[in-house]
Structure 1
Amino acid sequence: MTCFLGIDLGTSAVKALILDEAETVLATISVPVPAPAHPTPLASEQEIGSWWDAVSTALTRLAQDHGPALARVRGIGLSGQMHGLSLLDAEDRPVRPAMLWNDGRAEAEAEALQAQGYDLARILGVPAMAGLTAPKLMWLQRHEPASLERARHLLLPKDVIRLTLTGERVTDVSDAAGTWLLDQAARCWSDRAIDTLGIDRRLLPLIVESPAPTGTVRPEIARRFGLPQGVIVAGGAGDTLAGGMGIGVVEDGRAFVSLGTSAQVFVATDSYRPAPENAVHSFCHCLPARWCAMAALLNGASALGAMSRLAGSDDIAGLLDEVEASFTGPSPLLFLPYLTGERSPHNDPFARGVLFGITSDSSRAQMIQAVLEGVAFSLADGVAALNAAGTSVGAAGFIGGGARSRLWARIISAATGLTLNRFAGGEHGAAFGAARLGRMATGQPLDAGMPAVIETIVPDLSLREAYLPRVEDYRSLYRALRPEFRRGKPT
């Protein structure tokens, strides 16, 4: 039986899975990636070589434990963290560490670009933001010109893995969508953006549609991991778009909420509908003639991990049980989850996390609950931004590591007003979607169906009524502190 491999390069881990032709998951594995470094304020970097190290470990373990399945793989799909700036020299060696999606150093460059108005943003699908790839290139032009002088190739994170697998320098439309260099409607590099930013076009890779074949695994790599010769590697997709593919959110109006390290509210569309004025991301989807509207949040389950460390416990499940045991309604505390700034709807790289309202009687459970609510309230802001842009969000899938918590799902449903569907295997969304793209690259037709719904969570009306004023308090707190965040920004 033919199999397909999906590899998802996340910020904190590489996830890989093997599917058979019936889309049964035969094997899964997760390998940690070294945490990002923050050498200066607003910086977020990873060593580019650490990505292949983690992928290599994952493939080695799959070969050891699931060798027969790996030997039947005919197609590989890749997904990965978006917006990362990875520069390679003429020998394909990293010029410097990658600047990641949550790197905020290019704020001045993004502001200068956006000061020119929204005309270019409507072509590129999103207002200029510090974490996008192109503003970071401009930051390097200003602060590290020697790095750009050495650079010969710009690749997005997952495409660095493709280069090692196949020797090809290629990206796909859905990952390129997050660079601030792609003409979203035409699904190609934007001449206007390249000219405006003064970028050397020779740095940019070839663009293909996500299911397109981009080469085959090199013979020495295939032998090393027990793959057959001639395995095809698909164009792949940015992780959020691959997550949509994994749960079948490809038809117009279908939606999901993803709660991983970051978070998204995502709606598939059958046409390109830019809304940069609302900080909505309008990107190419990973199927031809499909796009999406997305509220992208920089802080998701990572905020819970950070607060857990501050609370002196790495037992997140135990902390959630503690909250659930005492849960009666909204926490008396408010939490702004903007640990690494925020995109939708604020486009504010200087925003920071705030725990507000602590008294001598505050408990650890109240603090952790406030974190769950703060992320839920930021998702409510994302839903509001999409609605204001004319994209209605109704029932939505719920995927990502945070989707394992039923309590968090209940809080998010009440805060946003969304009916949430939890899926079997929803935590594998991006890797599963990548494997589907690998299947398509081999020429096999694909019905991108939705997985089985294991639970539907409808908004609790009494809890929603209790949360509505707390959402307004949350928004008011951010508005009050926004000037303070900017006054304290790094110089």
Structure 2
Amino acid sequence: MTKTDGRILALDLGTSSTRALVLTAADAAPVPGALARHKISPTYGADGSAVLDLHEYVEGLLGCFDELQQGGHLEGIEAIVLSTQWHSIVALGPRGEALTPVITWADTRSIPATPGPSFDEQAFHARTGAWLHRLYWPRRIPWLLSEVSAAGFAGLPDLVLERLTGERVTSVSVASGTGSLDLATGAYDEEALAIAGVKADQLPAIVPSGWAGRIAAEYERRWPGLVGVPVHPPTGDGAASNVGTGAYDVTTAAVTIGTSAAVRVVHPIDNAPELPWELWRYRVDDKHAVTGMAFSAAGNMHAWLTDVLRLQHEEPTTVEIGAPGLIAVPFQAGTRPPATVPGGSGAYFGLSFDDTAESMLAASLQGVSLEVDRGLRMLDDLFGHQLSVVLGGGGIDASAWWRRCLTATFARPTDVCAEAEVGARGAAAIALGLSPEPGGEHLDPVPADVDRVAALRPRYESLRALTIQSASL
């Protein structure tokens, strides 16, 4: 796309907040002062529920539009793009009304899957990039059908898009996050639909990446600057974050540390390498996929520890990276599939009276770094070379110590993305064909740090295995 002096309105549909911000069309850089945010508070229950109020969520997002309008920021907008949380689901009634709150990825409720004796989960995983796990719709839908008389299902981004444009459709990227997409064809997988007990017409229609909607007529007077502006299909936040950090080809892995963490590589869907059992694969758009591994404890654990330990500073600056002694296995929130370690499995080993709040924080950040490194090394092997690494996300921005720790644990140089809003930036880049660069500091691993982490690794791996064994008892 030819670079212009226009602007992009980017929406970021997160779990803890929903944001609307304006970017330059030339390089997807944030326009100063053109950001509106609505805080989201998920509701958690003892039954494993983790839900969002759909009405409150959408109205909060529309309020972000109003705030930008009042600031004069909705003039000159050339495109509207969306980055969104993956895996959400809402049960719908016969008129398309929501029968449930938004069920988020963190919700653990489900019923056992009954796919039949001929089911081959290895083949299912190779086709869909997912597992038969409660995170995905083939497990979510049968459970929801046991709870409500649903006529259809949609995800949060599908319903936001419908509210904005009047059309209930989904993108190949969002559909891949349901665990119900045949990655090669870009259509719903027949076996996944059969396991879920639904037909394709009960789910949002999948539109091509070139599709564009328009703001619905009811909003034309409310936001006149957006009349006729194309609304592009949403991109899953993992894919968007990769591209937003500057990791958009097979030479580079993006490591993002937000509420959770992930390491991912974007690559062409054609001739993609065979997917290892331990990794997932989703779609970015019609031509690209993203392969990676995710981790449930990261920035959420950092925030929890700094609160529980009453740390005055959020950096364990007095502790050496890779320090021997205290080991933390960061399974407080369990593990993502295919592993089955439940939440509440975090562990410390080697606690002594010499330990401090900072050493406990450092051990936990080191544990997360070692977990991410496990995924990075699998991706190295999959793509046949040592990948370059770009770091991004709120956890990366918040802690220089953690940036150095990750760099030492990976034992390779890293580049830091200077832009905090990597999801919105990536969604804009994908929709408009841009290639953003990280733009932040370059870090070289400190040899002494690398040596300490290497010495620590065998003990960590042994204690990690012990933690997994204990969790199964």
Do the two structures share a fold, i.e. TM-score over 0.5? Answer: yes
Q: Return the match for 1:136 from 137, 140, 148.
A: 140
| Residue 443 of structure 1: aligned partner | none
| Residue 164 of structure 1: aligned partner | 163
Q: Return the match for 1:402 from 376, 391, 395.
A: 395
Inter-partner Cα distance in structure 2 for 1:32 and 1:157: 16
| Residue 58 of structure 2: aligned partner | 52
Inter-partner Cα distance in structure 2 for 1:200 and 1:388: 38
One-letter amino acid matched to 1:75: A
Deviations 1:331-358 (A, max 9, x none): 6322222222212673534563223332
Asked if 1:423 is matched to 2:407, the reply is no
Aligned 1:246-257 pairs, distance under 5 A: 246-257=244-255
Q: Return the match for 1:33 from 28, 39, 43.
A: 39
| Residue 348 of structure 1: aligned partner | 341
Inter-partner Cα distance in structure 1 for 2:218 and 2:414: 45
Inter-partner Cα distance in structure 2 for 1:458 and 1:369: 20
Q: Return the match for 1:463 from 449, 453, 456.
A: 449
Give % identity.
23
| Residue 197 of structure 1: aligned partner | 196
| Residue 294 of structure 1: aligned partner | 292
Deviations 1:339-394 (A, max 9, x none): 22212673534563223332223211111112211211110121233345455452
Contact 2:91 2:153 (8 Å CA) reproduced: yes
Inter-partner Cα distance in structure 1 for 2:246 and 2:322: 34
Deviations 1:15-44 (A, max 9, x none): 322123323421443524333222134432
Provide the alpha-carbon RMSD of the alignment. 2.6
Contact 1:8 1:80 (8 Å CA) reproduced: yes
Asked if 1:375 is matched to 2:382, the reply is no
| Residue 99 of structure 1: aligned partner | 103
Inter-partner Cα distance in structure 1 for 2:328 and 2:199: 43
Q: 1:463 to 1:326 in 2, by over 3 A?
A: closer
| Residue 478 of structure 1: aligned partner | 464
Inter-partner Cα distance in structure 2 for 1:465 and 1:110: 48
Q: 1:395 to 1:437 in 2, by over 3 A?
A: closer
Q: 1:470 to 1:293 in 2, by over 3 A?
A: same
Unaligned runs of 5+ in 1: 441-445
Three-state SS of the structure 2 residue aligned to 1:358 is coil
Inter-partner Cα distance in structure 2 for 1:222 and 1:371: 50
Contact 2:247 2:253 (8 Å CA) reproduced: yes
Q: 1:276 to 1:49 in 2, by over 3 A?
A: farther
Q: Return the match for 1:64 from 47, 60, 70.
A: 70
Aligned 1:255-334 pairs, distance under 5 A: 255-270=253-268, 271=270, 273=272, 277-286=276-285, 288-312=286-310, 318-320=313-315, 323-327=316-320, 329-330=322-323, 332-334=325-327
Q: 1:300 to 1:85 in 2, by over 3 A?
A: same
Aligned 1:150-189 pairs, distance under 5 A: 151-189=150-188
| Residue 10 of structure 1: aligned partner | 14
Inter-partner Cα distance in structure 1 for 2:443 and 2:323: 18
Deviations 1:433-484 (A, max 9, x none): 223345x3xxxxx3x2232532111222221221124333333223212243
Inter-partner Cα distance in structure 2 for 1:267 and 1:324: 31
Between 40-49 and 235-244, the greater mean CA deviation after superposition: 40-49
Contact 2:297 2:331 (8 Å CA) reproduced: yes
Three-state SS of the structure 1 residue aligned to 2:195 is helix
Pairwise CA distance, 1:292: 2.1
Per the normalisation by structure 2, the TM-score is 0.90
Inter-partner Cα distance in structure 2 for 1:9 and 1:473: 40
Task: Number of aligned residue pairs: give it.
Answer: 465
Inter-partner Cα distance in structure 2 for 1:115 and 1:298: 28
Inter-partner Cα distance in structure 2 for 1:349 and 1:131: 13
Contact 2:18 2:40 (8 Å CA) reproduced: no
Inter-partner Cα distance in structure 1 for 2:152 and 2:447: 53
Inter-partner Cα distance in structure 2 for 1:331 and 1:85: 44
Deviations 1:132-171 (A, max 9, x none): 2322223334xxx242x1x333222222211111111111
Per the normalisation by structure 1, the TM-score is 0.87
One-letter amino acid matched to 2:389: A
Asked if 1:386 is matched to 2:342, the reply is no
Q: 1:461 to 1:130 in 2, by over 3 A?
A: farther
Inter-partner Cα distance in structure 2 for 1:235 and 1:39: 32
Asked if 1:85 is matched to 2:89, the reply is yes
Inter-partner Cα distance in structure 2 for 1:110 and 1:453: 49
Between 52-61 and 181-190, the greater mean CA deviation after superposition: 52-61
Between 100-109 and 357-366, the greater mean CA deviation after superposition: 100-109
Which structure has greater helix proportion? 1
Between 213-222 and 327-336, the greater mean CA deviation after superposition: 327-336
Inter-partner Cα distance in structure 1 for 2:43 and 2:241: 26
Deviations 1:52-73 (A, max 9, x none): 13312322222222x1x31221
Between 400-409 and 269-278, the greater mean CA deviation after superposition: 269-278
One-letter amino acid matched to 2:39: V
Between 152-161 and 269-278, the greater mean CA deviation after superposition: 269-278
Inter-partner Cα distance in structure 2 for 1:185 and 1:274: 12
Between 402-411 and 454-463, the greater mean CA deviation after superposition: 454-463
Q: 1:106 to 1:351 in 2, by over 3 A?
A: farther
One-letter amino acid matched to 2:414: L
Q: 1:42 to 1:269 in 2, by over 3 A?
A: same
Between 395-404 and 122-131, the greater mean CA deviation after superposition: 122-131
Asked if 1:336 is matched to 2:338, the reply is no
Contact 1:168 1:214 (8 Å CA) reproduced: no
Pairwise CA distance, 1:94: 2.1
| Residue 240 of structure 1: aligned partner | 238
Contact 2:11 2:81 (8 Å CA) reproduced: yes
Three-state SS of the structure 1 residue aligned to 2:80 is strand
Between 475-484 and 366-375, the greater mean CA deviation after superposition: 475-484
Inter-partner Cα distance in structure 1 for 2:184 and 2:223: 39
Asked if 1:125 is matched to 2:124, the reply is no
